[in-house]
Amino acid sequence: MNSFFILTISGIFNIFAVKLKYTYKEGCGGIFGYVTPLKGELKVRELDVFKGYYCGVCTSLGKINYPTKYILNYDMTFLALFLSSIKFDMDRPKRRFCGYKVNKVNYFTNEYIDYAAMMNIILTNRKLLDDYNDDKNYFSLLLSKIFNVKNNEKFRDKIEVIDKKLNEMSYLEKQNSPDIDRLSHLFGEITKETFDVLEGKEGEVLKYFGYNLGRWIYVVDALDDLERDIREKKYNPLIYAFNYNEEENFRERVVENIRFVLYSYLENITKAYELLDIKKNRGILDNIIYLSLADKTERILKGEKINEKSIRGIRCRQERFNGGYKESL
């Protein structure tokens, strides 16, 4: 495939991607985007390795269904990196031409990278279908047909679990539920399902890790979006959990109560991580687990905005597409 054709296709999908924002209701429910390295603390070689996994997942998405390259997020890159670092002692990079970067890039390939790509597609597809069922938004239905895989029977059980949890979340959101504990639990069950890959004790630890990571993502995202949701009169569980009555210091009141919850999830994540046998890339993973997650937590508690994310629910791509760029390192 020549570079001009690749660039043309990329341009078409970048334009098409901007239209995604019109499919998105302003609710919560969760895709991903917070689990990234703290780049300033990474060695150059480590950043190159992380980019190799990012490009590896992107390459795998392109082989499965080319348009799905435009729904790649950092959390699925982390999943690919994490699983690969537990199961393999070594990865040898390959090279290919990237139409987006207009240059050759190094990338990794293995079964866990392919798995992360499949999870990326499945999660996006099920969320789009969930939005269609909620709002009868036919553009969401159209996108669900585009961002899909034909042969997903291998993942049928996972899809059923994801659908069930999304349905429960949608019901609670429609009721303006204040039960953020229940909502974060349901989202944790979804991420737990994506981490349910390995067998035995190692597999149980990995699921516990994924469950707590999902709970942290949900709550930190709700806090990250709180002021905007109040301003735009959108649903946010924190508004109802802490009985917002238009006071000016509402966010400060929420932060006082939510800090302990966020750090309890981080503690559980850390405990699970330390039980796993990490065979490689420990520097990158330590950066993410010990530094980056805590850094994002503190920045959001202080009211800083995190721009590298794909946020709760259908808003997962809106901010990025408004800016007109593909999530990239």
Distance of alpha carbon 107 from alpha carbon 62, whole angstroms? 13
Residue 40 pLDDT greater than 60, yes or no? yes
CATH architecture of the domain with range 3-7+27-322: Orthogonal Bundle (1.10)
Q: Which two tokens stand for residue 101?
A: 């970067």
Q: Does the pLDDT value for residue 248 go beyond 90? A: no
Check: CB of residue 90 under 8 Å from CB of residue 82.
no
The answer to whether residue 45 scores a pLDDT higher than 70 is yes
Q: What is the pTM assigned to this prediction?
A: 0.84
Least confident of 14-23, 49-58, 95-104, 192-201: 14-23
Cα-based distances in Å from 187 to 47, 184, 257: 29, 5, 20
Encode pLDDT of 105-150 as tens digits: 999 999 999 999 999 999 888 888 887 777 777 888 888 888 888 7
List all residues 6 or more positions away from 271 whose beta carbon is below 8 Å from its beta carbon.
none
Query: Hey, what are 130's tokens?
Result: 């969930």
Q: 107: which strand partners?
A: 94
First vs last C-alpha separation in the chain = 24
Say if CB 242 and CB 48 are below 8 A apart: no
On the CB side of 153, how many CA atoms lie within 13 Å of its CA?
1
Give the distance, in angstroms, between the CA of residue 91 and the centroid of all CA atoms in the same chain: 24
Domains in the chain: boundaries: 3-7+27-322
Say how far apart CA 210 and CA 189 lie, in whole Å. 8
